[in-house]
């Protein structure tokens, strides 16, 4: 049964001067869905994400969030009800971990006590001990810890939608896997709708319900992870899945006891 759409992009194009970042993209994200957007750098995938919370405006076409055209919404208010996990760090270096996490609750006028309680609650949610972490500054955290704080901050104002821009790209493999599956669990338990940008197809197919592939500003393929891995249509996608497929076959063979 198709889920009711919560984010809709309707024939959206975005140009920067002469450069066309997005070319007539139409896409719907269902409520509760975990969508991964895959593409190489410069493909327009980050632009796609920024259009949803009005960090960028479309040159043509319409974007709707919760059935409302985003052009009618006040941008700060819109962004406060959409969680956003930034590429790289994105934490405020002059604020403590707890203050970073509780920044959006502060913007919507939550009291100091409520903010402190919420920050502790969220730190626990992303598996960071509040007593140990709440008063630290971002500079005193490891990459993995920072990204956990980034996820906690995105969730602080109880958003229904979370947008993530290469959230786990800068992490080592172990951290990446751990934080990725932790987030997947939060997605399910909190009933979120998540849109994740990544250049890594493996990460996309392992975490998402559905994957779309963007190439040179166009949406060239979409489907479930299984559809993508087994029956890719576009030539670029076939190329893209070659590596993970070969790795998987090799790993499978090793696990079965074959090979050297």
Residue 202 CB, nearest distance to another protein (Å)?
26
At 196 the three-state DSSP class reads strand
User: Angle, nearest 10°, between helix axes 112-125 and 143-155?
Assistant: 130
Cβ neighbours of 7 (radius 10 Å): 24
* Bridge-based pairing state of the strands 218-223 and 19-30: unpaired
Residue 158 Cβ vs another protein, minimum distance, rounded to whole Å: 13
Quick one: which segment of 2-10, 100-108, 205-213, 245-253 binds another protein (CB under 8 A)?
Answer: 100-108
Task: For the CB of residue 106, give the shortest distance to another protein in the complex, in Å.
Answer: 8
Site for another protein contains 94 (CB under 8 A): yes
| Contact call for residue 104 and another protein (CB under 8 A) | yes
Sign (positive/negative) of CA torsion 160, 85, 17, 54?
positive
Residue 153 touching another protein (CB under 8 A): yes
**CA distance readout (Å), 114 to 94, 105, 132, 175:** 21, 9, 19, 30
CA distances from 237 to 43, 159, 212 (A): 13, 32, 10
- Can you tell me the distance from the alpha carbon of 181 to that of 58, in angstroms, rounded to the nearest whole number? 33
Q: Minimum distance between the CB of residue 193 and another protein, rounded to whole angstroms?
A: 17
Nearer to another protein, 199 or 245 (CB): 199
In the chain, % helix, strand, coil (3-state, to 5) comes to 45, 25, 30
Would you give the binding string for another protein spanning residues 32-71, x where CB under 8 A is met? ---------------------x-x----------------
| Span from 12-20, 32-40, 79-87, 202-210 in contact with another protein (CB under 8 A) | 79-87
Q: Does 3 bind another protein (CB under 8 A)?
A: no
Minimum separation from the CB atom of position 147 to another protein (A): 13
Residue 144 DSSP one-character state: H
Residue from 2, 93, 257, 259 touching another protein (CB under 8 A): that is 93
101 and 147 Cβ atoms separated by less than 8 Å: no
**Minimum CB distance to another protein, residue 240 (Å):** 27
Q: Which residues bind another protein (CB under 8 A)?
A: 53, 55, 75-80, 84, 86-94, 103-104, 107-108, 153, 157
């Amino acid at each position: 049964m198709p889920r009711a759409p919560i984010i809709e992009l309707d024939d959206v194009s975005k140009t920067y001067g002469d450069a066309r970042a997005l070319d007539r993209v139409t896409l719907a994200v269902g409520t509760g869905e975990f969508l991964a957007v895959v593409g190489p750098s410069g493909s327009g995938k980050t632009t796609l994400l920024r259009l949803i919370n009005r960090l960028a405006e479309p040159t043509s076409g319409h974007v709707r969030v919760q059935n409302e055209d985003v052009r009618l919404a006040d941008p700060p208010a819109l962004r406060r009800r959409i969680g956003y996990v930034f590429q790289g760090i994105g934490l405020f270096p002059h604020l403590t971990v707890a203050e970073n996490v509780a920044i959006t609750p502060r913007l919507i006028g939550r009291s100091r006590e409520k903010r402190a309680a919420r920050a502790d609650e969220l730190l626990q949610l992303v598996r960071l001990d509040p007593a140990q972490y709440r008063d630290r500054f971002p500079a005193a955290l490891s990459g993995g810890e920072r990204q956990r704080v980034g996820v906690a901050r995105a969730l602080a104002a109880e958003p229904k939608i979370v947008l993530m821009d290469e959230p786990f790209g800068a992490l080592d493999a172990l951290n990446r896997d751990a934080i990725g599956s932790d987030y997947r669990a939060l997605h399910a338990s909190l009933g979120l709708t998540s849109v994740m940008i990544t250049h890594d197809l493996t990460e996309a197919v392992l975490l998402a319900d559905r994957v779309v592939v963007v190439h040179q500003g166009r949406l060239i393929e979409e489907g479930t992870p299984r559809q993508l891995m087994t029956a890719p249509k576009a030539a670029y996608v076939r190329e893209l899945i070659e590596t993970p497929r070969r790795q998987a076959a090799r790993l499978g063979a090793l696990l079965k006891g074959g090979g050297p």
